[in-house]
A and B are shown apart, each in its own frame.
Chain A
C-alpha cells in the first residue's frame, strides 16, 4: 500500500521569506502523480501544484515549486516570497497512474503560518 508522510505538523515563517514543506512517500510503482493541496481557513482544498513521476523537470506554478527526488521518494514544496494568504494547511498526496481517484492517498498535513 502506498503511504505519504509529512513529518512537519506545523511551520511558521516571516512574510516574504522562503519556506520548504517536506513530503516523502512509499510506493513500488514507477508511474504516478504527486500533488500539493492547500486548505486555507475557509476549508476549501485547492490544488497548488502537480508533478508527473515520469517528468524529470520539477513543476513550477508562480511562487510555488517542487523538488522531486524520485529515487529518494521525496516531494517537497517550496514557497517563495511568502504572503499572508499562504497561511493554510498543506497536504501532500499521491496517486498511482494505473488507478482512479479512489486510490488517492493524502498525508496528515503541515499547518503553515505566515507571520506579518
Chain B
C-alpha cells in the first residue's frame, strides 16, 4: 500500500451516464495527477494539480472534468463518454519538484 487509494476499482457505464472517479492520498503530497492507461500504449497524462490548482490539461476532451477540492483528494467526473474511453485510469501523487510518483491501483472503466 503506497498511500494512494482509488475508488471504485471497476466501473461499467453507458454512454449517457454520469459517474465520478475518486482518488485520495495521505502522503502529504501537494501534486496530484490523472493518467489514462490503454493496452499497448504509453501512459497518457491527462491532468495535473499543484496545490489544488490545475497546472496541466493535456488536450483532454471536455467529457472528462477534474476536480481537486484539497491537496488530498482528486476527482474525475465523467459524462457522455465514448467506448474508446474504456481504459484503466490511474491517479498519482508526488511532492512538488520530486520526480518520484506514487500511484493508486486505478479504476478499470468500461464504456458500453
Q: How far is the CB of B88 from chain A (nearest CB, A)?
A: 7
Interface 9-residue window, one of B11-19, B62-70, B78-86, B93-101: B93-101
Count the A-B residue pairs with Cβ separation under 8 angstroms: how many?
57
Q: Looking at the complex, which one of A100, A106, A108 makes contact with B97 (CB distance below 8 Å)?
A: A100
Interface secondary structure of A, over-half rule: mixed
| A42 near B105: Cβ-Cβ < 8 Å | yes
Q: How many interface residues does A have (CB within 8 Å)?
A: 24
Q: Looking at the complex, which one of A35, A91, A97, A104 makes contact with B45 (CB distance below 8 Å)?
A: A104
Most buried by A among B31, B56, B103, B108: B103
| A101-B94, A108-B41, A108-B42 given; A44·B101 CB < 8 A | no
- Tell me whether B90 is interfacial, beta carbon within 8 Å: yes
- Tell me whether A64 is interfacial, beta carbon within 8 Å: no
Interface 9-residue window, one of A15-23, A45-53, A68-76: A45-53
Q: Looking at the complex, which one of A33, A37, A102, A107 makes contact with B56 (CB distance below 8 Å)?
A: A102
Contacts A106-B42, A108-B40 aside, 14 further interface pairs with beta carbons under 8 A come to: A9-B40, A43-B90, A44-B2, A45-B92, A45-B101, A46-B2, A46-B103, A47-B100, A47-B101, A100-B31, A100-B48, A102-B58, A104-B45, A105-B42
Interface residues of B (CB under 8 A from A): 2, 31, 33, 40-43, 45, 48, 55-56, 58, 88, 90, 92, 94, 96-97, 99-101, 103-106, 108
26 contacts between A and B (CB under 8 A): A42-B105, A43-B88, A43-B108, A44-B2, A44-B103, A45-B90, A45-B92, A45-B103, A47-B100, A50-B99, A95-B99, A97-B99, A100-B31, A100-B55, A100-B97, A101-B31, A101-B33, A101-B101, A102-B48, A102-B55, A104-B45, A104-B101, A106-B43, A107-B42, A108-B40, A108-B42
